[in-house]
């Protein structure tokens, strides 16, 4: 028997659970199948509550045919942004982000300089292609760099929820705030364990 007075365990879900093939494959061959399978299991997990920030939900819709999403999805997946105007965050988190960005920005300049120096030996378009890749690695990977990232972190913080994402950088930053997280590859097992 379910105790309705017990507070449910909250889960904040990133798009990667349904989109990133390495994680999604635990649920299905494509995003639609993955969502269907997720819903089938999640419906039975009465002690869990699922959340997705608005920006992340919109990102998900970008990958999916909305008509193929089972209707239950909208009941099961609660769509909610963090209360960003009232929530607060330890100032130290800010220091760490600024420090990380500073290092990344310096690295980005080094990447750009080395691209410029390589033009004499290589085809310009190849250099540009390589520059874009390396610049992205230097400045984007492993850092919080989008509204979606910030939403996932602060919604998890606000709800005291467990964060499920395939983005290691996001886990690293969520962890600094004491946010609970689970290995995304184990998310299906996690759900199945909640049913037993």
Element (H, E) at 181: strand 180-182
CB 180 to a second copy: min, Å: 18
CB 149 to a second copy: min, Å: 7
Segment lying near a second copy (by CB under 8 A), choices 19-27, 56-64, 138-146, 180-188: 138-146
Q: CB within 8 A of 181, min separation 6: which ones? A: 162, 163, 164, 165, 171, 174, 175
Q: How far apart are CA 176 and CA 92, in angstroms?
A: 10
Count residues contacting a second copy (CB under 8 A)?
Answer: 44
Task: Determine, following the binding rule CB under 8 A, whether residue 132 of this chain makes contact with a second copy.
Answer: yes
Candidate list 95, 141, 168, 186; residue touching a second copy; CB under 8 A: 95
Which residue number, 44 or 133, has a Cβ lying nearer to a second copy? 133
Q: What is the dihedral of CA 161, 165, 170, 176, to 10 degrees?
A: 40
**Angle at alpha carbon of residue 143, lines to 146 and 97, rounded to 5°:** 100
Element (H, E) at 79: strand 77-79
Q: Point out which residues bind a second copy (CB under 8 A).
A: 82, 84-95, 97-99, 101-102, 105, 108-109, 111-113, 115-117, 119-120, 124, 127-128, 131-132, 135, 139-140, 144-147, 149-150, 154
């Amino acid at each position: 028997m379910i105790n309705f007075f017990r507070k449910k365990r909250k889960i904040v879900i990133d798009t990667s659970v349904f989109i990133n093939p390495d994680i999604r494959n635990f649920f299905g061959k494509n995003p639609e199948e993955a969502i269907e399978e997720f819903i089938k299991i999640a419906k039975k997990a009465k002690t869990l509550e699922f959340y997705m920030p608005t920006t992340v939900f919109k990102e998900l819709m970008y990958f999916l045919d909305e008509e193929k999403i089972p209707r239950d999805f909208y009941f099961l997946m609660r769509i909610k942004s963090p209360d960003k105007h009232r929530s607060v965050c330890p100032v130290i988190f800010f220091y760490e982000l600024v420090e990380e960005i500073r290092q990344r920005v310096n690295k980005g300049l080094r990447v750009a300089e080395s691209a410029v120096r390589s033009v004499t030996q290589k085809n310009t378009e190849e250099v540009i292609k390589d520059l874009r890749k390396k610049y992205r690695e230097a400045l984007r990977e492993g850092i919080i760099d989008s509204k979606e990232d910030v939403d996932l972190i602060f919604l998890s913080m606000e709800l005291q929820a467990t964060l499920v994402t395939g983005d290691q950088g996001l886990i690293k930053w969520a962890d600094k705030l004491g946010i609970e997280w689970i290995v995304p590859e184990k998310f299906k097992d996690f759900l199945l364990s909640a049913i037993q």
